[in-house]
Amino acid sequence: MSGVDLEDRPGETRDDVAQRRPRGDRLRTVARGLGQTLITIGLVALLFVVYQLWVTDLLAARAQDQLAEQIQEQWSDSPTVAAPPADPVPAPDPTVGAPAAPPAHTPAAIDVGVGDPFAILHIPRLSADYSRVIVEGASEVQLEQGPGHYLDTAMPGEQGNFAVAGHRVGRGSPFLDLDRMQPGDPVVVETADSWFVYRVLGDPATGDFGADPSGIPGRQIVRPSQVDVIAPTPGGGEPSGAYLTLTTCHPKYSAQQRLIIHARLDGAPLSKAENPGGPPALAG
């Protein structure tokens, strides 16, 4: 006995032929089309993930290399980086008191345009050679290049809050492991003529981020709308010291919350002319 005849019959339309097809054939056709659609969607999603996690990292790494070259060229042209000529040290006069201490180093003012590099961030906890060029501005355009300085917050070493944002995943992932920071960890900021050492707030002995006498926690998890973390004094209020705040998305692969690290300036700025290799804190 022959199978079902699916050939066109005289006077039949395509719709008539389709209606005579077994229901199973129609279901298989629908399933095949749905499967192909899902495969296409999956491939698009996979390509997007590859772009977000790897391609943007490569692009950001290239941008960082270019920024590093640019900022080093700028600094090499700056007269503040060269060491001053050494004057002969006079012999002590026993009839006069101890010689006056040399004047404290005064960092040059920083004048920078949006999108331009002006400092380098060093975080020994994240790796011995961790360094990222900071650009002015914290919009998506700037953060595609690396960490960005929030406009209208303090500059390095100034009273107030030097606040810096960075991506957690993708775009170079500069703050991927920011959750590894511990109380007392140094964060070193390098500018054209100075080194600034900040220390993460909290108790280094116990690891308690909330133990700082200022009441400012060394680490917070907040909603994106909680912008008082970058106030002149973190949490709100007028400047009460020189702080540094790092912000990034939390948890990894999500933007639902923000991970915040607060640090305070530890000691006076150091002259790069007198300390070309950087402060001891760079060793961790």
pLDDT score recorded for residue 124: 98
Distance CA 197, CA 123 (A): 10
- pLDDT tens by residue, the chain, 284 residues: 444 444 455 555 555 555 555 666 666 666 666 666 666 565 544 444 444 555 667 777 898 999 999 999 999 886 544 444 444 445 555 555 555 556 789 999 999 999 999 999 999 999 999 999 999 999 999 999 999 999 999 999 999 999 999 999 987 899 999 999 999 999 999 999 999 999 999 999 999 999 999 999 999 999 999 999 999 999 998 899 999 999 999 999 899 999 999 999 999 999 999 999 999 999 98
Amino acid letter, 46: L
Tens digit of pLDDT for each residue in 224-280? 999 999 999 999 988 999 999 999 999 998 999 999 999 999 999 999 999 999 999
Out of 122, 167, 171, 219, the active site residue is 167
- Predicted confidence at residue 48, as pLDDT, reads 46
- The phi and psi torsions of 93 (rounded to 5 degrees) equal -100, 115
pLDDT at res. 81: 46
Torsion of CA 103, 105, 111, 113, to 10 degrees: 180
**Residue 105 is among the residues annotated as catalytic for this protein:** no
- Is 132 known to be catalytic? no
Cα–Cα–Cα angle for 265, 271, 272, rounded to 5 degrees: 110
CB-based burial label for 79 (10 Å; 0-12, 13-18, 19+): exposed
Active site residue 32: no
Listed in sequence order, the residues at least 6 apart from 118 whose beta carbon sits closer than 8 Å to its beta carbon are: 71, 110, 112, 134, 135, 136, 149, 191, 192
At residue 181, φ and ψ (nearest 5 deg) are -60, 145
* CA atoms of 177 and 115, how far apart (whole Å): 25
What's residue 59's pLDDT?
74
- Coil, strand or helix at 97: coil
Q: Nearest Cα to 114, choosing from 69, 171, 76, 152?
A: 152
Cβ neighbours, 10 Å, residue 207:
12
Q: 122, 149, 168, 249: which one is catalytic?
A: 249
